[in-house]
Structure 1
Amino acid sequence: MSKRFVDPLEELLKNEAAEQLLRFFSLAEERLTLAFPRASSMLAESASPSAKQVRGTTRRHFLHEALATAARDAGLEFENRWTDPATWSFPVVRSGSFSMTIGILDTRFRGAGRALRTTSQYVADLCERNIVANPQASLFDGVDRKDVVIPRGSLGALIVAQYSPANPDEPAFLGFWVPSPDLSEPYYVRSFDQVITALREHLEMGRRPSKKVVERKTLKLRKKPDDKKA
Structure 2
Amino acid sequence: MPALILARHGETDVIGKRLTGRITGIHLNANGRNQANRLAKALEGVKIGAIFSSPLERAMETARPLSESCGIPISPHSGLTEINFGAWQGKQYKQLQKLKLWEVIHSIPSKVTFPAGESFIEAQQRMVASLDEILSAMGENDLAICFSHCDPIRLAVAYYLNMGLDDFQRLSIEPASLSLISVRDGKPHLGPINFTPWDIRALVHLTGADGRSTDEE
Q: TM-score, normalised by structure 1?
A: 0.32
Answer 1 or 2: higher relative contact order, Cα 8 Å, separation at least 6. 2
Pick the structure with more helix per residue. 2
Pick the structure with more strand per residue. 1
